[in-house]
Amino acid sequence: MQQRRLGDSGLLVSAVGLGCNNFGGRIDVEATRRVVHRAVDLGITLFDTADIYGNKGGSEAAMGEVMGPLRKRIVLATKYAKPMDDEGRARGASRRYIVEAVEASLRRLRTDWIDLYQQHEPDPGTPIEETMRALDDLVSSGKVRYVGCSNLPAWQVVEARWTSRMGGYVPFVSAQDEYSLLARGIEAELLPALGRSGMGLLPYFPLACGMLTGKYRRNAAMPEGARLTNTQRLADIYVTEANWTIVERLEAFCAARGRSMLELAFSWLLANPLVSSVIAGATRPEQLEQNVAAAGWAIGAEDLAEIDRLARKG
C-alpha cells in the first residue's frame, strides 16, 4: 500500500483509507472487527470516523472495542461539530464544546490520542480564532496530533490557515470533502485554496454512492439492498440523466482499456497530487480487497485529459 503525506505535514497515510461510518450501525461489532483486521492486513492505515457516526457514538465505540493492539498501527481520524443531542447544545466549534467533545471521543475510542481531529462542518457562531486556539491547546496537551476540517467553504479554509499563521497556532493540514468523477464542485475554489495552503485532500464518496461501481444500469431495476435503492434522498442527487450519460461514457472508456469503473474512480482521484488518501466505507473484507486493488492504475496524461472531457456535464 502506498503511503502519502497528509498535505505538507509529516503525517503519512495510506493511499486508500477506510471510512468507518458503517460501524455501530449497518454492521455489528464482530463484522466491524473483521473489516478492521483485514484493512490492517492490506496496509490501510487511515481509519476515518466521527462522533456522530453510528447513531451518535456507535462507530467510535465499535472502533474502541476492536482496535486493541492494532491501535499503534492505525492513523485514527475522527470529527466533531455536528449535533450530538436534540437540544442543539452539544455541537459546534467553540472552546467549551471542543474540550467536551474530544474527551467523549477519547472515551469511546478507548485511546489516549487522536491522530487527526477534524471540524465536521462550519460553525458560524464561533470566531475561527477561538476554534484554532482550542485545537492548538489539544495538540499541546498530546490528546490530538494533527487537525483538519471537513465541508468548509474555501474562504473559511483560507481564513483558518491565515488565523493559525498569524496567531502561531497549529493549522488545518487537511480538508475532507466530497469529490468524485460525478461530484466536482470543489475544483472551482477549494482545490486551488488547498494547493496554495499546502493542505491535503481526503475525498469522501469517491464512488458517488455506487454510481461509479458499474452495478447500476439506466432503465434497469435497481439492485436489491443497495444504498441508492434504499435511500431516496441520495437517489435524487445521484440518479440523474446527466450522471447516466457520464457513467455510460466512462464505462465505454474503461472497456476499451480492459479496466473497471472501480479502478477508474480510485485511480483518477489518486492521480491528483493534492489527494492524500481516498476514503471509502466497507461492510465486508472483500470490499476492502477490491478497493485496494482498484488503486493501482497509473493513468497517463492523455487518458486523464480524455477522462476530464468525458466527465464534464453538459
Q: Which positions are catalytic?
A: 53
DSSP letter at 272 equals S
Coil/strand/helix, residue 221: coil
8 Å CB contact between 106 and 2: no
Query: CA 146 to CA 135: how far, in whole Å?
Result: 9
Coil/strand/helix, residue 95: helix
Enumerate the β-bridge partners of residue 117.
78, 147
8 Å CB contact between 278 and 44: no
What grid cell was written down for 30?
464482530
Query: CA 182 to CA 211: how far, in whole Å?
Result: 8
Outline where the chain has alpha helix (H): 29-41, 53-66, 95-109, 128-141, 154-167, 190-197, 227-230, 232-238, 241-257, 261-270, 285-294, 301-310
